[in-house]
Chains A and B, each alone.
Chain A
Amino acid sequence: AQTVTQSQPEMSVQEAETVTLSCTYDTSESDYYLFWYKQPPSRQMILVIRQEAYKQQNATENRFSVNFQKAAKSFSLKISDSQLGDAAMYFCAYRRTSGTYKYIFGTGTRLKVLA
């Protein structure tokens, strides 16, 4: 069975600094998707970034980028130039590309941004 692990329950970063959130996963599949979702206090889950396993190039969305290490089954999120609005829970998620499209989520990392 696939699993997703986020080992950092909470992280803090100074405004304008860079922070990296960790995520590891376990799967026997060769093709799959990985996601980072943000959940602010409003509890609305927002997609931050998506990575397709067959693509070697790391995904980037403005200040957000990932370090995808397929062999190590690692998928970390880097937030550059952190802003107060980045404060939220961040969830890493996995989904197969065939068969069931059930998503597997990690337990989340709470990010605090310090002014």
Chain B
Amino acid sequence: GAGVSQSPSNKVTEKGKDVELRCDPISGHTALYWYRQSLGQGLEFLIYFQGNSAPDKSGLPSDRFSAERTGGSVSTLTIQRTQQEDSAVYLCASSYETGRETQYFGPGTRLLVL
């Protein structure tokens, strides 16, 4: 595709349920990032995948959050036992792996935990 895509665009769930958010990066991009943006706030780094290297998980807020990237392409961010404070927009971005490339963002998934 032409850009980074994310699904669903909106997700409403009940407290305690698990959710999965999906990101399809730009074809050929080997680096993939997940961010969380709470209402009126900046972007909070969550996790970063770079090629076949071990991901940088330093931004995951708790062990309820996890992410995987299958086949070096599609990534899924999973939030287990969701809490109301997990409500936010989750943004995905991708870039080439060279380290001198700019990241490009998807439209985000807005998550609302009731």
Contacts and interface: CB of A to CB of B under 8 A. Distances in A.
Contacts of B93: 45
Interface string B61-95: 00000000000000000000000000001010101
A45 B33 contact: no
A50 B105 CA distance: 15
Contacts of B35: 105
A107 B40 CA distance: 9
Contacts of B91: 43, 45
Contacts, number: 52
Nearest to A37: B105
Interface string B90-114: 0101010001101111011010000
A100 B49 CA distance: 10
A43 B42 contact: no
Interface string A91-115: 1010001101111111110000000
B99 A43 contact: no
A44 interface: yes
A102 B43 contact: no
Interface residues of B, number: 25
A101 B103 CA distance: 10
Contact of A50 (B31, B33, B50, B102): B102
Contact residues on A (Cβ < 8 Å of other chain), bracket:
20 to 34
Contact of A91 (B31, B43, B95, B107): B43
A25 to B, nearest CB: 13
Nearest to B31: A101
B107 A42 contact: yes
A75 interface: no
Contacts of A104: 45
Contacts of A68: none
Contacts of B45: 102-105
Given A43-B107, A45-B93, A102 B56 contact: yes
A106 B42 contact: yes
Interface of A: 33, 35, 37, 42-47, 50, 91, 93, 97-98, 100-108
